[in-house]
């Protein structure tokens, strides 16, 4: 076979290769494909149809005032984040960088000085947050509340995501359907009815508003808000938790102004300690720009900002609306329970 014929057959065979194997695809095209899931993994929301009058009324509360209240809580949180996320973010960045720099110092005195600053002001543990002034050791409340502020901030973000998931999971509607089926004469036993009625009440208390677990400012210092949110003692209802965030915010700025006998504030001590300790950063292997983070922390703690976003998360109308929802839901739950004489078996406090 001569060279011309060989070239002809080579080109001919190439023309039969499927276009897909030689087509070019942009990275974003693959990203779109990766977003697709097999049909058995796609979650399709159930459709619930309620026929009893009481169930219809509760359904209208769920899709009306309950979801409206959740939307307001989420919008208020979004506005708050726009104003204050930089403070929380830079505290964490600054803490992590100083922690890394401590072990990089070859001189033990430098290590010790940085470690003392870390423990006093920016540690993730409150045990060492002590400050000596006026001749005695005091709890460093500014450092304590700066730490706990970052924790409650993360807690709100995680919990509101959980609340969203709870609504998306449609558990409230599933329980309401069991109630509706019983009211319509279907084979639902009283134990299942009682459990579902209790779950309706519990859902609102756990995810929207719990009037029995409203945090007070004087309780903040002793509250457990560590990394494990399941160990927390406060309410994780959306209204409660965002209201509590507002209390932590206020308390942080109050402790910043605590003064010694010479009118020097805790925040002044923070600034002075940093000025004195940063000379002990001799080795900076990764060229960490810690000064930027510190300056942003100071800026966010000293720049006068509008307090509108802080005020909104603590708006008393949110709690009032939450209470109205509970009161209304309670009436309907009791109306249903009384039909089957199980009202005394429910806990609706």
Question: What are the helix (H) ranges across the chain?
Answer: 3-15, 19-22, 27-35, 53-61, 67-104, 108-117, 141-168, 171-183, 190-207, 238-255, 266-277, 290-302, 308-313, 316-339
Measured CA to CA, the distance from residue 287 to residue 104 in angstroms comes to: 11
Dihedral angle at the C-alpha atoms of 114, 120, 121, 122, nearest 10 degrees?
70
The whole-number pLDDT of residue 313 equals 93
Token pair, residue 53, equals 């009058």
pLDDT in tens, 226-254: 655 555 568 899 999 999 999 999 999 99
Q: Which of 303, 254, 238 is nearest to 76 (CA)?
A: 238
3-state secondary structure of 299: helix
pLDDT value of residue 43: 60
Give the start-to-end residue ranges of the domains of the chain. Answer: 52-345
- The pLDDT assigned to 225 comes to 77
Would the pTM count as exceeding 0.85? no
According to DSSP, residue 303 is labeled: S
Phi, psi of 319 (to 5 degrees): -70, -40
Q: Record the tokens describing residue 300, joined without a space.
A: 């966010």
Q: Is the separation of the CB atoms in 321 and 65 below 8 Å?
A: yes
8 Å CB contact between 234 and 223 = yes
Note the pLDDT of residue 234.
80
**What phi, psi does 258 have (nearest 5°)?**
-60, 135
DSSP 221: G
13: helix, coil or strand?
A: helix
Supply 61's token pair. 């509360």
Q: Residue 229: what pLDDT?
A: 56
Q: What is the pLDDT of residue 83?
A: 94
Show the tokens assigned to 342: 């199980």
Q: How far apart are CA 349 and CA 216, in angstroms?
A: 20
Q: Which residues contact 323 (CB under 8 A, 6 or more apart)?
A: 209, 211
pLDDT by position in tens, the chain (length 349): 444 444 444 444 444 444 433 333 433 333 333 333 444 444 667 899 999 999 999 999 999 999 999 999 999 999 999 999 999 999 999 999 999 999 999 999 999 999 999 999 999 998 889 999 999 999 999 999 999 999 999 999 999 999 999 999 999 999 999 999 999 999 999 999 999 999 999 999 999 999 999 999 998 988 877 655 555 568 899 999 999 999 999 999 999 999 999 999 999 999 999 999 999 999 999 999 999 999 999 999 998 777 899 999 999 999 999 999 999 999 999 999 999 999 999 999 8
């Amino acid at each position: 076979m001569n060279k011309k014929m060989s070239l002809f057959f080579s080109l001919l065979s190439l023309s039969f290769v499927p276009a897909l194997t030689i087509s070019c695809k942009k990275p974003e095209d693959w990203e779109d494909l990766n977003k697709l899931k097999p049909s058995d993994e796609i979650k399709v929301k159930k459709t619930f149809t309620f026929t009893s009058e009481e169930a219809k009324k509760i359904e209208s509360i769920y899709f009306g005032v309950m979801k409206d209240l959740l939307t307001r809580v989420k919008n208020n949180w979004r506005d708050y984040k726009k104003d204050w996320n930089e403070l929380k973010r830079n505290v964490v960045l600054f803490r992590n960088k100083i922690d890394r720099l401590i072990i990089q110092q070859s001189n033990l005195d430098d290590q010790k000085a940085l470690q003392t600053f870390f423990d006093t002001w920016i540690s993730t543990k409150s045990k060492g947050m002590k400050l000596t002034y006026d001749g005695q050791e005091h709890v460093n409340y500014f450092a304590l509340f700066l730490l706990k502020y970052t924790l409650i901030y993360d807690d709100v973000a995680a919990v509101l995501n959980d609340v969203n998931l709870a609504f998306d999971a449609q558990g409230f509607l599933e329980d309401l359907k069991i109630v509706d089926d019983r009211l319509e004469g279907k084979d639902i036993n009283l134990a299942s009815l009682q459990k579902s009625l209790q779950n309706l009440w519990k859902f609102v208390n756990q995810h929207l508003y719990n009037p029995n677990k409203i945090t007070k400012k004087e309780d903040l210092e002793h509250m457990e808000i560590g990394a494990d949110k399941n160990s927390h003692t406060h309410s994780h209802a959306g209204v409660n938790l965002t209201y509590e965030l507002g209390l932590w915010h206020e308390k942080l700025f109050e402790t910043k102004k605590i003064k010694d006998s010479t009118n020097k504030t805790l925040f002044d001590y923070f600034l002075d300690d940093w000025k004195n300790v940063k000379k002990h950063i001799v080795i900076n292997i990764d060229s960490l720009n810690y000064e930027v983070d510190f300056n942003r922390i100071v800026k966010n703690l000293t720049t006068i900002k509008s307090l509108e976003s802080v005020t909104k998360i603590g708006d008393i109308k949110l709690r009032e609306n939450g209470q109205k929802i509970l009161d209304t839901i309670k009436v309907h739950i009791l109306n249903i329970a009384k039909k089957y004489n199980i009202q005394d078996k429910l806990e609706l406090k």
